[in-house]
Amino acid sequence: QVQLVESGGGLVQPGGSLPLSCAASGSIFSLNLLCWSRQSPGKQRELVVTITSRGQTTYAYSVQGRFAIYRDNAKKTVYLQMNSLEPEDTAVYYCYAEVVLATGLVQGDYWGQGTQVTVSS
């Protein structure tokens, strides 16, 4: 099976920075599309940023210029560097991976358990 484990959430003041990471483990042949999404109380889950296997990125307008996504294929890890954080960025952040499984090269979709990010003074 495949597991995605996020880490790095916490409390940060407005204007601060916070790095998140998401490590994939299990029977993985390769990782294709990787994403970060977030969900605030009472709101629908919002796609924050995606990165393809070739490194092409797409950011939500609300985070453009403030957030940056990176991937390390050797470590099977995706990172989200969040800068100039605003109270509106408060949410549970989830990572998503499109995984090609080592067994049979079947593709599957996996989500992490989420990590809380709170931006408050």
Confidence label for 104 from pLDDT (cuts 50, 70 and 90): confident
Average pLDDT value for the chain:
96
Q: Across residues 7-24, what is the average pLDDT? A: 97
DSSP string for 8-47: --EEE-TT--EEEEEEEEESEEEEEEEEEEEE-TTS--EE
Q: Across residues 97-116, what is the average pLDDT? A: 92
Confidence label for 91 from pLDDT (cuts 50, 70 and 90): very high
Predicted local confidence at residue 44, as pLDDT? 95
HSE-up of 71 (CA within 13 Å, CB side)? Answer: 22
Predicted local confidence at residue 56, as pLDDT? 97
- Contact indicator for 101, 83 with CB cutoff of 8 Å: no
Residue 45: how many CB atoms within 10 A of its CB?
12
Each residue of 22-55: pLDDT tens digit? Answer: 999 999 999 999 999 999 989 999 999 999 999 9
Longest dimension (CA), the chain: 50
